[in-house]
Chain A
Amino acid sequence: MTEQKSTGEAKDWNPYVAGIALGCVLLTSFVITGKGLGASGAVNRVVGTALHAMSPTWAEDNKLIGSFFVPGVSPLDSWIVYLAVGVLLGGALAVVTGRRFRFETVHGPRVGSATRLVLAFIGGALSGVAAQVARGCTSGQALTGGAQLALGSWVFMFAVFGAAYGLAWFLRKQWI
């Protein structure tokens, strides 16, 4: 699907090679930190920190984020936040070394950029709620819990694929 132009940009890895590499990163994380991978948790902490800046008492009483706030420790001084910063750095390293940076709005042939950007925002908002409800996203639930064989994470993974396939027909103009 990815058309390579003659800019010397690196091609996508073979998916099985990429999968083995990703599995090794995940396993290394388990062995070294006792935890898997994640992404959405960092967003929750940034949001919590911002809310705390506006109203400390409200944030500390909130049943979802109250536990973020320990005297003397920033809520951003957390494993999940450093992990997300690492994702940005590692992604940037892959982009730079592979000459894969390009400003663009990715969409299918039958929609314009404006529609795509609106849908991207709506989809992001759905995912932000979803990751809070499920206590994790594709990384923190499906990958991490999937490899552990955690029951609820497998339910989560099938639900993700089920909903996306179920809705694919309605969104087809965006993608194909």
Chain B
Amino acid sequence: MEGPLVLSPSMGHGAEVVAALLCGAGFGFVLERAGFGRADNLASVFYGRDFRVLRVMFTAIVTAMLGLYGLDLVGFMPIGNIGIIPTYLVPQLIGGLLLGAGFIVGGYCPGTSLVAVVSGKLDALLFVAGVFVGSLAFTIAYDPFAAWHQSGGWGPVLLHEYFKVHSGVMVLLVALFAVGAFWVTARIEAALRRGRSVS
């Protein structure tokens, strides 16, 4: 580790607990006010009616990305100082497909379902119960899959490393991709609204 940050190695256990609670509370508060405590709000992104989910998510990713790579650029917090999510390509692909299926069938993802439970949604309570059962089933059945699940790791590979471009180029491309997605999805919403009002 070099550089003055991340702060956590210099914190005691109590401070780490408080930091995690506060970060979680900020996360939960924003998810709830974003409207993510309702399954119909979330699912409508998959029917082209309201791309709120995509807007919030991509804006959040771009905001945090600009912050991370900005702090990396000025040397305040090199990107290698934080825990980069390692790439396990096939598990992430299969897990992503399953989570997408869970999302459209169940109406939530694990984080949003927690927020929906505290806002009184019975369907979210059942979803959370399901998450526990799924996690339990996987844990019990894990050992035969362990070799597959733990092999083929690529380590902490970043997009710009994989595509062999400068990190600044990748940051710009991702930001442009998000803006492009905002523009396209706004047109889809407008077209579907027109279509519905005609029929």
Chain A residues in contact with chain B, CB under 8 A?
1-2, 10, 12-13, 15-16, 18-40, 43-44, 46-48, 50-51, 62-65, 79-80, 82-95, 98, 100-108, 113, 116-168, 171-172, 174-176
Contacts and interface: CB of A to CB of B under 8 A. Distances in A.
B25 A90 contact: yes
B61 A124 contact: no
A132 B35 CA distance: 26
B47 A150 contact: no
A156 to B, nearest CB: 4
A18 B49 contact: no
Interface residues of B, number: 127
19 contacts: A12-B52, A18-B33, A32-B6, A39-B110, A89-B21, A100-B32, A116-B107, A117-B122, A120-B126, A123-B102, A125-B133, A127-B102, A128-B135, A132-B134, A145-B84, A146-B65, A152-B154, A153-B85, A162-B97
A87 to B, nearest CB: 4
B23 A83 contact: yes
A87 B28 contact: yes
Given A23-B64, A159-B97, A162-B100, 7 more contacts: A40-B111, A83-B21, A124-B113, A133-B91, A150-B158, A152-B87, A158-B96
A59 to B, nearest CB: 9
Contacts of B84: 145, 148, 150
Given A83-B23, A134-B94, A156-B96, A122 B106 contact: yes
Contacts of A141: 85, 92, 95-96
A134 B95 contact: yes
Q: Which residue, of B44, B129, B139, has the highest number of chain A Cβ atoms within 10 A?
A: B139
B96 A157 contact: yes
Contacts of A62: 139, 142-143
Interface string B173-192: 01000000000000000000
Interface of A is mostly: helix
Interface of B: 5-9, 16-17, 19-35, 37-41, 43-44, 46-47, 49-50, 52, 55-65, 67-68, 71, 77, 79, 81-89, 91-124, 126-140, 142-143, 146, 149-150, 154, 156-162, 167, 170-171, 174
Contacts of A21: 30
Contacts of A145: 84-85
A12 B160 contact: no
A153 B95 contact: no
Given A62-B143, A132-B134, A106 B96 contact: no
